[in-house]
Amino acid sequence: MRKTQYTGGPVENEVIANLAAASRILAERGVVDGFGHVSMRHPGNPDYYLMARAIAPALVTPDDILEYDMESVPCNPGSSKSFLERFIHSEIYKARPDINSIVHSHSPSVVPFGLVDVKMEAMFHNAAFLAAGVPVFDIRDKFGMTDMLVCDCEKGVALAESLGDKDIALMRAHGSVACGPTLQTAVFRAVYTEVNARIQHWSVGLGGGAPLASLEEEEGRLADVPNQTAGMRAWDLWRLQVRDQLGW
Ligand SMILES: [Zn+2]
């Protein structure tokens, strides 16, 4: 297996191709559009992470993947423009050693749950991890009036504090972050957070605002374990579709 050399150590090319493919998959599933990003911790060195240069997710190729240290400084000086909100990734990685991949998106069905006083609940088993709770990060709480972007370490720390021990956090009037122990799980969770949001909108409409029979916390905990292996079936399909289109 061919490897590419990074500051944190060599990484198999297939890993880099998977990370690039994740951007394309998230775009095809309606989670990201011209904006949004997905990262993964360097598989051989927890003090670095990998993420595409600032480019629309549907256009990412393996050649666009850059390496960052835990201050979100690019390891290759003079490299291409970086995402302004890369501090989301570094500060969550620092706060949560169990998280190895993060998706940040502005997926449209999710945004309303950061605007109104209605909690996102786990509507079905694929979104089981939501049953643990879905915190909302309000950038105003610590920073007052801003451009809404998590564009420095301080704002990244505040977001990571809102996330706490959960794997999802909504960002008021902005979007969300979905996290996981693997790239595949983070992608699965980001996709099914968006789907879950749509189902909750439908369910609230159908029920006329009546209480929802959503997953209880214990059901969510039980269902999230098999999801992390069964979810690979979805990944294998999505990954194959990208490979068929692009050949990598
Ligand atoms: Zn954003």
Residues in the chain: 248
Residues 6+ apart with CB under 8 A from 107: 30, 31, 32, 36, 175, 176, 190, 193, 194, 197
Query: CA 109 to CA 204: how far, in whole Å?
Result: 13
* Rounded distance from Cα 211 to ligand 1 centre (Å): 31
Query: What's the pLDDT score for residue 57?
Result: 97
For residue 2, what pLDDT is reported? 81
Residue 78 confidence (pLDDT): 76
For the full predicted model, state whether its pTM sits above 0.95.
Answer: yes
* Domain 3-246, CATH homologous superfamily name and number: Class II aldolase/adducin N-terminal domain (3.40.225.10)
Task: Encode the chain (248 residues) as per-residue pLDDT tens digits.
Answer: 688 899 999 999 999 999 999 999 999 999 999 999 999 999 999 999 999 999 999 999 999 999 999 999 999 877 789 999 999 999 999 999 999 999 999 999 999 999 999 999 999 999 999 999 999 999 999 999 999 999 999 999 999 999 999 999 999 999 999 999 999 999 999 999 999 999 999 999 999 989 999 999 999 999 999 998 888 999 999 999 999 989 99
Q: How far is the CA of 36 from the centre of ligand 1 (A)?
A: 6
List the one residue out of 74, 72, 175 whose CA is nearest residue 64.
74
- Say what the pLDDT of residue 188 is: 97
Measured in Å, residue 208 CA sits from the centre of ligand 1 at 32
Q: Which of 85, 91, 121, 194 is labelled catalytic?
A: 85
Ligand 1: distance of its center to the CA of 172 in Å? 11
Tell me the CA–centroid distance for residue 88 and ligand 1, in Å. Answer: 9
What is the structure's pLDDT at 76?
86
The pLDDT score that the predictor gives to residue 70 is 98
Measured distance CA(231)–CA(14) in Å, rounded: 19
Q: Is 161 a catalytic residue?
A: no
Q: How far is the CA of 147 from the centre of ligand 1 (A)?
A: 11
Compute, in angstroms, the gap from residue 133 CA to the centroid of ligand 1: 21
Domain boundaries, given as residue ranges, for the chain: 3-246
